[in-house]
């Protein structure tokens, strides 16, 4: 027992002695730590018959480290079946009901497997939040809000279906990682209304169509769509320097993906998908001359990206053929014969 904490005590009683036939044959008091908690307990009187449960409860504050329950008979003897003792823990503040409903919509839309759970309250108790859900407490509303989805628990989980437009109701989201699944359909346009969204990773899915203009109009550091990265920094660099160069492409890629990517792969980070080009062009408040230069730069970027992709595919094919030769025994290291 911990001192000065509340404990709920449940006593389970039943009259099972066939010798007790009337109400007044067994009467007793129940004392907890020396104080009378329940006086003149009469099981037959309370239940009206034999072999019928009587459950009594009292909540007390324990001042020391022990809890003593005493049954003191005033007529006949005492009777007890079982005693349960529970520590009373204050109820934790719960998650916003709107966000709970939105997560359930997302659960059904993506067909979350049963092993991920997603039952009860997403954020409470704090020791056991829903898998892949990150929470923050809003002191103003007194509610928990969802500020992250994924957390390395929702990627590569075989999720299917569509991302619902209702996902925007999770308007405290800062990061989403649903990569490596089989999500289909359009990227919800409503995602662009989440003002705090900083990271969006949908790599390895089957999403189609254009990135919503509202998303393209705001830098999302580390954001990903399919196998390509949004290099928003490139537009700003081109605007400053007047033209797109390989140095600017590298600088933009490092700025978008972090310093650890510098020099990792030669020429990597030069590509964007065709659907990114109109998105950037529509959302940049720039002059017509700059817009023209930007479109030419991105067209050039797209062309170079295609060349890199083709070169990569050729090299990958050659590597696969070499592996096949080694596996089949057609290629052997030179062995020097010994005399």
The interaxial angle of helices 233-241 and 246-257, nearest 10 deg, is: 150
d(CA 285, CA 239): 11
Task: Establish how many alpha carbons lie within 13 A of residue 127's alpha carbon, considering only the half-sphere containing its beta carbon.
Answer: 0
- In a 10 Å sphere around its CB, with 0-12 CB exposed, 13-18 middle and 19+ buried, how is residue 10 labelled? middle
Closest by CA to 218, choosing from 236, 237, 202, is: 236
- What tokens does 78 get? 């005492």
Whether the pTM exceeds 0.75: the reply is no
pLDDT of the chain along its 339 residues, tens only?
788 888 999 999 999 888 888 888 999 999 999 999 999 999 999 988 888 889 999 988 888 888 999 999 999 887 777 999 988 876 667 899 999 999 999 999 999 888 888 988 999 888 888 999 999 999 888 899 999 998 778 988 889 899 999 999 999 998 899 988 999 888 888 888 888 888 888 888 887 766 666 665 444 444 454 333 333 445 555 556 656 565 655 555 455 444 443 333 333 333 333 333 333 333 334 445 545 555 666 666 666 666 776 777 788 788 888 878 887 765 444 444 443
Residues 6 or more apart whose Cβ sits within 8 Å of residue 83? 9, 10, 11, 12, 69
d(CA 226, CA 231): 14
What is the distance between the alpha carbons of residues 166 and 101, in angstroms, rounded to a whole number? Answer: 10
DSSP β-bridge partners for residue 160: 182
Determine the pLDDT at residue 77.
Answer: 82
Long-range contacts of 122-126 (CB under 8 A, 24+ apart): 122/95, 122/146, 123/94, 123/95, 124/92, 124/93, 124/94, 124/95, 125/92, 126/92
Return d(Cα 208, Cα 185) in angstroms, integer.
6
d(CA 6, CA 92): 16
Query: What is the C-alpha to C-alpha distance for residues 283 and 218, in angstroms, rounded to an integer?
Result: 9
């Amino acid at each position: 027992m911990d001192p000065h904490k509340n404990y709920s005590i449940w006593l389970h009683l039943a009259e099972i002695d066939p010798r007790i036939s009337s109400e007044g044959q067994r009467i007793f008091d129940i004392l907890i730590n020396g104080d009378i908690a329940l006086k003149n307990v009469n099981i037959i009187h309370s239940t009206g018959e034999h072999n019928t449960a009587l459950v009594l409860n009292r909540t007390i504050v324990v001042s020391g480290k022990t809890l003593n329950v005493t049954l003191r008979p005033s007529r006949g003897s005492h009777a007890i079946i079982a005693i349960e003792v529970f520590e009373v823990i204050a109820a934790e503040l719960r998650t916003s009901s709107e966000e709970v409903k939105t997560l359930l919509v997302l659960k059904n839309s993506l067909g979350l497997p049963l092993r991920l759970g997603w039952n009860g309250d997403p954020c409470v108790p704090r020791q056991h939040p829903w898998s892949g859900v990150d929470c923050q407490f809003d002191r103003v509303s007194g509610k928990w809000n969802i500020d992250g989805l994924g957390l390395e628990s929702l990627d590569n989980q075989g999720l299917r279906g569509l991302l619902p437009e209702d996902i925007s109701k999770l308007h405290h989201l800062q990061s989403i990682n649903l990569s490596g699944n089989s999500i289909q359909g359009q990227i919800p346009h409503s995602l662009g209304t989440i003002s705090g969204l900083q990271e969006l990773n949908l790599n390895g899915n089957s999403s189609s169509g254009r990135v919503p203009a509202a998303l393209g109009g705001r830098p999302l550091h580390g954001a990903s769509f399919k196998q390509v990265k949004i290099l928003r920094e490139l537009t700003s660099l081109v605007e400053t320097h007047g033209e797109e160069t390989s140095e600017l492409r590298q600088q933009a890629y490092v700025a978008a993906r972090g310093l650890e990517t510098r020099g990792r792969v030669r020429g990597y980070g030069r590509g964007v998908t065709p659907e990114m080009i109109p998105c950037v062009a529509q959302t940049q408040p720039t002059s017509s001359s700059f817009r023209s230069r930007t479109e030419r730069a991105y067209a050039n970027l797209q062309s170079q990206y295609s060349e890199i992709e083709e070169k990569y595919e050729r090299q990958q094919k050659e590597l696969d053929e070499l592996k096949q030769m080694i596996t089949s025994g057609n290629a052997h290291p030179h062995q020097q014969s010994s005399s």
